[in-house]
Chain A
Amino acid sequence: MRHLLSAKDLSREEAVAILDTAATMAATQQREIKKLPPLRGKTVVNLFFEDSTRTRISFEAAAKRLSADVINFSAKGSSVSKGESLKDTAQTLQAMGADGVIIRHPASGAPFRLATSGWIDTPVINAGDGKHQHPTQALLDAYTMRRNLRGDDAIGSDLGGVRVLVVGDVLHSRVARSNVDLLHTLGATVTLVSPPTLLPVGVERWPCAVSYDLDGAIAQGADAIMMLRVQRERMSAAGGGFFPSPQEYSRKFGLDRNRLAALGPDALVMHPGPMNRGLEISAEAADSAQAVILEQVTNGVAVRMAVLYMLLGGSEGATGGTA
């Protein structure tokens, strides 16, 4: 494993190894002294061509806890707004001595291009590209599920038999794509629940079931429900033709009090954030005892520490070693 570009690239063994490493990283974050030395002297660049606060801060915290130096590069007000290409930006960063690049880009496939074009020779971590992939989000979701559903037996285990509902705007969601790939690899059963207009072409070939009926899907039982954000910024107007009105979306696909009760108290309520309270998730559901939304944020740092350690912690060019 040299880069982390897509959740689809991970084998079951690699994914479990990352989750296990994340568990040991999480344990160190309970201590008074949270900083660890393995990436001392390494420089990690956060290359963000798209606005993101949570993911950038999470990666930054993870890299700093491992003693790496972090350079934040955001496209706004930078050379990119003067017309610099991805290639020139990346090579400039390499020339400054970057040992790893974390990239978020509005174009699907940009991290893959960066990793495989020969422009730079550092590990590349995809922090979200267009509507394509967001692998560390899928890893932190899987970690959160495994920790809560498997408890003390979590180390070494996958998510075999776990039933997950992914609800909402699948069309625009790289979180949904990454999660379907990774959860399938880990043995979980995934059902996408969405209005037909918010499902991408070709979804029938994804390794998951599809439903248009949230109440029906909940009635069949679920161990975790993941509410996707309605991505207003990717739609033209409110709704934007994908659904008649926010009210109707909320009534048919929002997680409200009744649906929370129907899920039962043991099902995990998850959301990748930021939440549209009152649209895809009610305040009651978001603040309920079974919501693990803040824990997802905490686990995000541990999972990203694990990924950074596994990609940058060993010798240059050393492959494998994840088993």
Chain B
Amino acid sequence: MTSGTPARSATERVVLDSSDIARALTRIAHEIIERNNGSAGLVLLGIPTRGADLARRLGERVLQADGRDDPAETLVGTLDITLHRDDLRRHPVRPIEPTTIPASGIDDKVVVLVDDVLFSGRTVRAALDAISDVGRPRAIQLAVLVDRGHRELPIRADYVGKNLPTAAAEHVRVRLAEVDGVDEVAIGRSTGEES
């Protein structure tokens, strides 16, 4: 996970490269500002691991596009959802990731949840529960880099980097420079591992 070289199997196909991801994030940042009439009262919460990195990148773009020079930490946080998962007891114990909330809190703010892939929707459901433990935002919106379909819950994204029609058996890999050493989204045949 910490190695710099991505392990790409021969059957994988890259669907978004680094400049595609950068453009998608820039567009989403502008959509967030447009929809919320600016960036005041906004909090971006990323779901670890890669959602947190995407949230930080989005936050920097939002601040830049809105002409603010505040540090990203005033806008961006991370939200651990492990303790709220509905499949905890089906798996070995999962390590808990840190939750960091901007100092101003989330009460009466507009929270934009950020994740890499929207699939079944169960992660987002857990995140909604986790948020209600932290505070009561005015509204919650959802931004994802990839929406691959196959929802199992009535959840949809407000901001989507790319809609990616997939078969259930396929897997979608989001790789980010912060974790994987490279920016790309790849799609391939599942080998049992799922993101």
Q: State the A residues within 8 Å of B (CB).
A: 17, 20-21, 24-25, 27-28, 31-33, 35-38, 155, 309-310, 313-316, 318-323
Max chain A Cβ within 10 angstroms of own Cβ: one of B82, B83, B90, B91: B83
Question: A38–B88 contact, CB under 8 A?
Answer: yes
Residue count of chain B within 8 Å CB distance of chain A: 20
In the complex, what residue of chain A is closest to B101 when comparing beta carbons? A31
In the complex, what residue of chain A is closest to B82 when comparing beta carbons? A38
Question: B83–A321 contact, CB under 8 A?
Answer: no
Question: B134–A319 contact, CB under 8 A?
Answer: no
Question: A27–B99 contact, CB under 8 A?
Answer: yes
In the complex, what residue of chain A is closest to B90 when comparing beta carbons? A315
In the complex, what residue of chain B is closest to A1 when comparing beta carbons? B93
Q: What is the distance, in angstroms, from B122's C-beta to the closest C-beta of chain A? A: 14
Q: State the B residues within 8 Å of A (CB).
A: 80, 82-84, 88-99, 129, 133-135
Residues of chain B within 8 A of A36, CB atoms compared = 83-84, 133
Q: What is the distance, in angstroms, from B83's C-beta to the closest C-beta of chain A? A: 5
Q: Determine which of A31, A37, A314 lies in contact with B83 in the assembled complex, contact meaning CB atoms within 8 Å.
A: A37
Question: A314–B129 contact, CB under 8 A?
Answer: no
Residues of chain B within 8 A of A155, CB atoms compared = 98
Knowing A31-B134, A36-B83, say if A314 contacts B98 (CB, 8 Å).
no
**Dominant secondary structure of chain A at its interface with chain B:** loop
Knowing A27-B98, A31-B134, say if A314 contacts B93 (CB, 8 Å).
yes
- Show 27 A/B contacts (Cβ-Cβ < 8 Å), sorted by A: A21-B96, A24-B96, A24-B98, A25-B96, A27-B99, A28-B99, A28-B133, A31-B134, A32-B135, A33-B133, A33-B134, A35-B133, A36-B84, A36-B133, A38-B82, A309-B83, A310-B93, A313-B94, A314-B92, A314-B93, A315-B89, A315-B91, A318-B91, A319-B92, A321-B92, A321-B95, A322-B95
In the complex, what residue of chain B is closest to A32 when comparing beta carbons? B135
In the complex, what residue of chain A is closest to B129 when comparing beta carbons? A37
